[in-house]
Structure 1
Amino acid sequence: MSHYIWPGERAFRKRVADMADLWIVLSPNQKLEQFSVEIGWSRLQRFPELSMRPSSIAPQDAYDQNEYFCRLGEMVHGHDYWWTIEEFRQAQSIEELGASLEKLSASMVQERLQPRVKEAMDALEKHGIPYLEMAVQRFNAGNASQTKRTM
């Protein structure tokens, strides 16, 4: 797929009529029990090849970019936000360390994960998808005005 996707990430793409590829990336933290969701686009028909992810440009200022990514959590909460399944807690004893290494049952994992996934999906539906739809509208408007200039 791309050298710009980190291990463990899952990327989802929607191609919009030769205008842009819209991307949603689920990105698990490799060290902590949390994940982020990144949204963005490439107008170059590929996974965005950015020097850093997320982009340093604010979402409201990014519509003129050919490639872009932002964290959904930052868009929603105003700061770099990851959905935390379980807070990291330093073990205070050998017993606590042992307990932290015990395997959780599938039902326990689902119980802890489900609320965070719902929050992220709600944020995506309420903020992320409308943002990507606005980007497509702006791309379309830009294409229309560019066509008029070349006539």
Structure 2
Amino acid sequence: MTTATPDRIDLPDDVAQLLADASRLMGEALDRPHAARVALVEEEEGRDIARIEVPPDTLRLLSRVLAMMASEQAFLLYPAHTELTTKQAAELLGVSRPYLIARLEAGELDYRKVGRHRRIRMEDVLAFKETMRQTRRAALDALVEDSESLGGYDL
């Protein structure tokens, strides 16, 4: 049985292997750099019973999705112009809603108002998440550097 949480997709081993094989085969089909489209064919008893042609970029995306599912990674697909509520954005960022609203009011993140409610573009939330990650990383690197200069790692 397949189960999914915000952090992980749990698959039976046979399903995970099937997805990994499909991703690998799609990657091999995409090794032809000048192909305008790739045909997916279902065969039965040696003859084609279904055939669909897709652009290589579509197959690349599907291959990545299958590979992530096979390794039981959670992923997020969203339409290009998705907007989130402050509650949804805070959950995605892993912060409290009041903290997020303070960042919005400080101008650190763009938003628009719909009546009394704020809406934040998904791409802005993801960019802000990356900025938060880089800031944390820089702070940790600075702490390690300070500790090393003070002999904190000497035995």
Q: What TM-score does the superposition give when structure 2 sets the normalisation length?
A: 0.28
Which structure shows the bigger proportion of residues in strand conformation?
1
Q: Which has the larger radius of gyration?
A: 2
Which structure shows the bigger proportion of residues in helix conformation?
2
